[in-house]
Amino acid sequence: MNEKWFFDDLAVGQRFKSASATLDESAIKRFAGEFDPQPFHLDDEAAKSTLFGGLAASGWHTAALTMRLLVDSMPLAGGIIGAGNEIAWPRPTRPGDILTVVSEVIEVTPSTSRPDRGHVVVRSKTNNQRGDVVQVMTSKLIVPRRTG
Amino acid sequence: MNEKWFFDDLAVGQRFKSASATLDESAIKRFAGEFDPQPFHLDDEAAKSTLFGGLAASGWHTAALTMRLLVDSMPLAGGIIGAGNEIAWPRPTRPGDILTVVSEVIEVTPSTSRPDRGHVVVRSKTNNQRGDVVQVMTSKLIVPRRTG
């Protein structure tokens, strides 16, 4: 599928993989300085005595970078518009980690009130370069119908 | 409570309010350019013909700014460490919006396996300057016990 994807193109079980992105130490500290200024995201030494045991990216940074990878790999007609998300961070993201997102369609539901759109639930797992899952996100997306 | 808050200090029903933060147009476009480069987050004109009907911040930007407000207003011992989140964006965040977060403790559960910590569920509503709710987030946090 090279063109934009409409609701009608999506089916449960479809999977798609993103490109990769590296999260380096300076980006981790810059994001944290602006949005999540806590010692374990800002200072290598201070991070050692915390639950993380060393510098880790803000979960919101992992989420934002995951979004970037999704935008580039999931060309939904109308864009990626989320109505809601569940998000979990089973492991921290570390400096130098290379992230890749594998997504799977797990629900497709035509809207009963709006014939021009449907709801699609996508589960996106963000993996590091060792294949460890650093984020699991389940997103409810609004997707236009081709015949809308 | 001026000092750090431990698990033992928290009880269901406690509420706390953050300071305010303004989300201006240049910040919206900068965040979107890096993490969520979609027309409705980047371009005023292009946004008009989308579901948003005009420029809107990325939901992840609203989430990141909410985190910043929480870090400054919820001095948990050990920091704000989320094990998981549910997040919904009932309305878009617009250029110039002034955001404030009101949080409420909705669950406190001592860990059965780790006597040094507990789990606390906090619901945080992010409001704009008109009192509209732009984000509802329910976060499962790991909080150390005072006697841990």
Q: How many Cβ pairs closer than 8 A exist between chain A and B?
A: 88
Per-residue b/e over A105-144, b at no fewer than 16 CB within 10 Å? beebeeeeeeeebbbbbbbbbbbbeeeeebbebbbbbbbb
Tell me what the pLDDT averaged over chain A comes to: 94
pLDDT per residue as tens digits for the range A9-68: 999 999 999 999 999 999 999 999 999 999 999 999 999 988 899 999 999 999 999 999
Q: How far is B121 from chain A (nearest CA, A)?
A: 14
Q: Does B115 touch chain A (CB under 8 A)?
A: no
Q: Does B50 touch chain A (CB under 8 A)?
A: yes
pLDDT per residue as tens digits for the range B14-27: 999 999 999 999 99
Separation of alpha carbons B106 and B118, rounded Å: 14
pLDDT per residue as tens digits for the range B28-81: 999 999 999 999 999 999 999 888 999 999 999 999 999 999 998 999 988 999
> What is the pLDDT, as a whole number, of residue A75?
92
Q: Does A78 touch chain B (CB under 8 A)?
A: yes
Q: How far is CA A60 from the centre of its chain?
A: 10
Tell me what the pLDDT averaged over chain B comes to: 94
> What is the pLDDT, as a whole number, of residue A2?
54
Q: Does A95 touch chain B (CB under 8 A)?
A: no
Query: Tokens 């240049």 map to which residue?
Result: B26
For residue B107, pLDDT beyond 80: yes
B51/A88 CB distance under 8 A: no
> What is the pLDDT, as a whole number, of residue A47?
92
pLDDT per residue as tens digits for the range A85-122: 999 999 999 999 999 999 999 999 999 999 899 999 99
Of B37, B68, B85, the CB nearest to A35: B68
B71/A142 CB distance under 8 A: no
Q: Does A104 touch chain B (CB under 8 A)?
A: no
A103 beta partners: A16, A124
> What is the pLDDT, as a whole number, of residue A83?
83
What domains are there in chain A, each with its CATH number? Answer: 7-144 (3.10.129.10)
Burial class (CB in 10 A: 0-12, 13-18, 19+), B102: middle
List, in order, residues 6 or more apart from A47 with CB less than 8 Å away.
Answer: A39, A40, A41, A53, A54, A55, A56
